[in-house]
Amino acid sequence: MNVHHGLTDQRGFTLAEVLIAAVIITLALVALASVVPIAGYAVQDGNQMSTATFLAEQQLEQAKNLPWVGSPANDCLGASASSTAAPTVPAGGTCINGATTINAGGAITWLADESAVTNFPAYARTVRITDCSTGGGCVGITDAHMRLVTVTVTYTPLNPAPATGTTGPKSIRVQMAVSQR
């Protein structure tokens, strides 16, 4: 008879046990609630970084496919006069790209700085072309038939909660060496 009594015991929980369980569940929910905004920020930051990388790679592909041939001289890749200047057609060269012709010293419009990328207004993009004939900024390459294309995409990420405002701009920089065809 004692065995039967143990299986049908319907005592339930005491008030102290219920209160302790409520406190433990409350602490777990508060901890979970503080993690959710941080996880949301991480997802947003990853999305922005992926978008910036996509925009940089898109511009690299465009630069890689531009005409740059030696004879006759057709240089639509150009070179930047400094690290702050957009690319221009080098002295003695001409750029003929489809119906567009740009003479020496002219700005290469399709590689111009963008303060707001088309369809991505929160992103800015710059392209710098370094002539590798001097080897100065080409990662150890010294070759007159090589150029280093550097694309930088800048955006402003959101702050992680509970902070407000923004953290300041972030940049993604992608580089590629291009050879003359």
Task: Give pLDDT tens digits for 47-77.
Answer: 999 999 999 999 999 999 999 987 678 999 9
* Residues 171 and 152 sit within 8 Å (Cβ to Cβ): yes
Strands (E), the chain: 68-69, 74-75, 94-97, 100-103, 123-131, 146-155, 170-179
How many angstroms separate the Cα of 30 from the Cα of each of 19, 40, 61?
A: 16, 16, 48
Give CA–CA dist 86/84, Å, rounded. 7
Kindly report the pTM of this predicted structure: 0.77
Instruction: Return the pLDDT at 6.
Output: 56
Which of these, 167, 164, 88, 160, lies nearest to 131 by C-alpha position? 88
Task: Give pLDDT tens digits for 73-129.
Answer: 899 999 999 889 999 998 888 999 889 999 999 999 999 999 999 999 999 999 999
Residue ranges per domain, the chain? Answer: 15-67+111-179
For the chain, the first-to-last Cα distance in angstroms comes to 97
